[in-house]
Amino acid sequence: MIQAIPATNKTKKDTRKTCTVCKKRFNPPRRTIMTCSEECKIQRRNGGKKATAQKKRQPKQFPLSNPFVQLLIRHAKQAGTVQVFQYITVIELLELRDMQKLMFAGNASHRATFGNFHFSHIYPTHGQRHVGKFVPKNLVIANGELNRRRGTSYFGGGDFISPAHSSTRWDIRQGMTPHDIAMMILDCIGRDVWAEFDKVAKLAPNARQDYVDALMPLLNRCNPDHAEWLKVFDNPRTSTKDLRLLYEAVTGKTVFVVGSREYLTGMEVMISEAKRMSVYRPELEPVLVALEQIEQTSRYTTCKSFELGEYEPYFFDWLHGLRIGPDELQSVLNDALGSITDGVSFNRKVIVRPIDLFSVEQLAEYYELVDTNHVHVPVSPADDGSWMDSIQPYQWM
């Protein structure tokens, strides 16, 4: 009789793992898995902290206090409707932003509290049958005093909304807040157009008021040590950058030094606007050439930018659509060039003669300097007149 071999009691190997977070045993689908659940997995990634619900990304706050947004709101109120921005493109919005920067640069060198350069409408918003639009084709950065004198007169050109195309849907109603007007401007322009513009412009809230509020309790008017700081703080033309540096100086972080600011002269602003507007109105090209010749002559002769003075109204009206008379333009050019050379403290004079607006050779001939008897008398032994040959043409930036 064959004796049966007793069966061995074999136990199955335990392949479970211990969760590294909650210490529970679990069967991992793969050997690399270290946690038993998704919650433990998130908690392990957070360094042992409990898993928290992921917060939704907050939408970007609309920069209501931004100077460019405030500019749009202010001119929408002036026109009484946001339709003045209808159908504006991203390129035009960027051009308006550059025009505002030009205005700031021009106002930086002016003594008036709020500057002398404004956005001036070629076709006015009031006083005419149509409503002037707030688009680059209808705007010029110009002398504010001349703009006020001009009032609602219209010389020609520009862009406008006819009564047949106006809509009361976009009218600004009484009691609307700046935020309400800004939201209506976005709807009129198109939020997709504004988003594309903001990608390039990157508009940010104005930090100026934040620094003003922070400095208020820190500056003591009874403290003589704060006298110099208060002069900067009380000046309405102090830039945001200078307010930030002032705040750092008051709090002891650094020494306050007034920062340098970019500025443009009135002539430089006029030339920039003539160059920009000549794209829309080619008939302005002779005006641009005349302005550049006057500026070049002034810088060659006096090493300073030309003071427009009595000649500014002529160029102001031409930029605003007044018909350009070639003879009148030539006369203004000759008078302006003559006024430059009359004030030069040389022991010789300039022969003033009409010159061709487009002739460089005749412009160079205008610089010929002779004495009263038309015999050259040098100012110094080294000054034989050859200095004129070494002058490089002024490159307008």
| 8 located within any domain | no
Structural domain for 37, as ranges: 13-47
Q: Tell me, what's the pLDDT at 43? A: 83
| 220 located within any domain | yes
Helix (H) or strand (E) holding 282: none
Indicate if 152 and 230 belong to the same structural domain.
no
Q: How many domains does the chain have?
A: 4
Closest to 60 (Cα-Cα) out of 186, 231, 148, 214: 186
Indicate if 76 and 134 belong to the same structural domain.
yes
| 6 located within any domain | no
Max avg pLDDT among 176-180, 208-212, 223-227, 385-389: 176-180
Indicate if 95 and 170 belong to the same structural domain.
yes
3-class state of residue 370 by DSSP:
strand
| 397 located within any domain | no
Domain boundary residue among 220, 250, 280? 250
Q: Tell me, what's the pLDDT at 361? A: 53
Indicate if 197 and 73 belong to the same structural domain.
yes
Residues facing residue 26 across a β-bridge = 17
161 DSSP assignment: E
Domain boundary residue among 201, 216, 234? 201
Indicate if 129 and 240 belong to the same structural domain.
no
DSSP annotation string for 167-196: -GGGBPPTT--HHHHHHHHHHHH-HHHHHH
184-239 pLDDT, tens per residue? 999 999 999 999 999 999 988 777 777 777 888 888 888 888 888 888 888 877 87
| 258 located within any domain | no
Structure tokens at 65: 């206090």
Indicate if 87 and 150 belong to the same structural domain.
yes
| Cα distance between residue 147 and residue 119, in whole Å | 9
Indicate if 32 and 74 belong to the same structural domain.
no
Max avg pLDDT among 81-85, 234-238, 247-251, 380-384: 81-85
Residue 67 reports pLDDT greater than 50: yes
| 283 located within any domain | yes
126-157 pLDDT, tens per residue? 999 999 999 999 999 999 999 999 999 999 99
Beta strands in the chain (DSSP E): 17-18, 25-26, 117-121, 131-132, 139-143, 160-161, 349-350, 369-370
Indicate if 194 and 225 belong to the same structural domain.
no
Indicate if 246 and 284 belong to the same structural domain.
no
| 186 located within any domain | yes
Residue 395 reports pLDDT greater than 60: no
Indicate if 161 and 197 belong to the same structural domain.
yes
| 82 located within any domain | yes
Indicate if 80 and 196 belong to the same structural domain.
yes
Indicate if 87 and 161 belong to the same structural domain.
yes
